[in-house]
């Protein structure tokens, strides 16, 4: 069984949330491994990747709603 340093786990989890497609891909790869620890890491990365996608979609929807209400005039250079 391979033991990963704590800092590497934290970086992997942060990258999974900030870059959701990385989290989904890495999580899927880790879930395919036989080791229980890798399986657990994969599950966490998948959850964080999905959460990152939900947050990104929510932020994009909010930005679009504000833009539609303001007529997108605030996006044009002055």
Q: What is the dihedral of CA 18, 21, 24, 29, to 10 degrees?
A: -110
Q: What is the pLDDT of residue 41?
A: 92
Number of compact structural domains in the chain: 1
**Is residue 75 domain-resident?**
no
Does the residue 73 lie in any domain? no
Question: Which pLDDT score is estimated for 1?
Answer: 60
pTM of the predicted protein model: 0.80
Question: 3-state class of 71 per DSSP?
Answer: coil
pLDDT of residue 71: 66
The answer to whether residue 21 sits within a structural domain is yes
Is residue 76 situated within a structural domain? no
Is 47 among the domain residues? yes
Contact 1, 35 (CB under 8 A): yes
Question: What residues in the chain have per-residue pLDDT under 50?
Answer: none
Range of the domain at 14: 6-68
């Amino acid at each position: 069984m391979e033991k990963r340093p704590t800092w590497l786990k934290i970086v992997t989890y942060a990258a999974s949330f900030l870059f959701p497609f990385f989290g989904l891909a890495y999580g899927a790869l880790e879930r395919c491994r036989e080791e229980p620890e890798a399986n657990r890491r994969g599950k966490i990365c998948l959850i964080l990747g999905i959460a990152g996608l939900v947050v990104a979609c929510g932020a994009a929807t909010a930005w679009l709603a504000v833009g539609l209400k303001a007529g997108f005039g605030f996006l044009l250079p002055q």
